[in-house]
Structure 1
Amino acid sequence: MKLGEVGFLTNDVIRLADFYKFLLGTDNGSGDGVHQTIIAEETMLTIYNDGTVKNNQNQNICIAFTVDNVDEEYERLLEKGMKIIDKPITRPWGARNMSLLDPDGNTVYLRSFPENVKEG
Structure 2
Amino acid sequence: MKLASLRIITENIEQSVQFYEKVMGVKAQWYTEDFAELKTSTITIAIGSTRTMKMFGSEHLTESKGATPTIIEFLVSNVDAEYERIKTLTNKIVQEPTTMPWGNRSLLFCDPDGNLINFFTPVSVEALQKFS
Structure 1 residue runs without a partner (length 5+): none
Size of the aligned set, in residue pairs, is 120
- Quote the Cα distance in structure 1 between the aligned partners of 2:78 and 2:40: 23
Structure 2 residue runs without a partner (length 5+): 54-60
Identity %: 26
- Identify the range of structure 1 (79-88 vs 15-24) with the bigger mean alpha-carbon deviation: 79-88
**Higher Cα radius of gyration:** 2
- Return the structure number with greater helix share: 2
Contact 2:79 2:97 in 1 (8 A): yes
Q: Give the structure-2-normalised TM-score.
A: 0.78
CA RMSD of aligned residues (A): 2.3
- The answer as to 2:80 corresponding to 1:56 is no
- Quote the Cα distance in structure 2 between the aligned partners of 1:32 and 1:77: 28
- The answer as to 2:117 corresponding to 1:108 is yes
Q: Deviations over 1:15-51 (max 9, x none)?
A: 1111111000111254953000111645421000241
Q: Which residue of 2 aligns with 1:118?
A: 129
- The answer as to 2:80 corresponding to 1:71 is yes
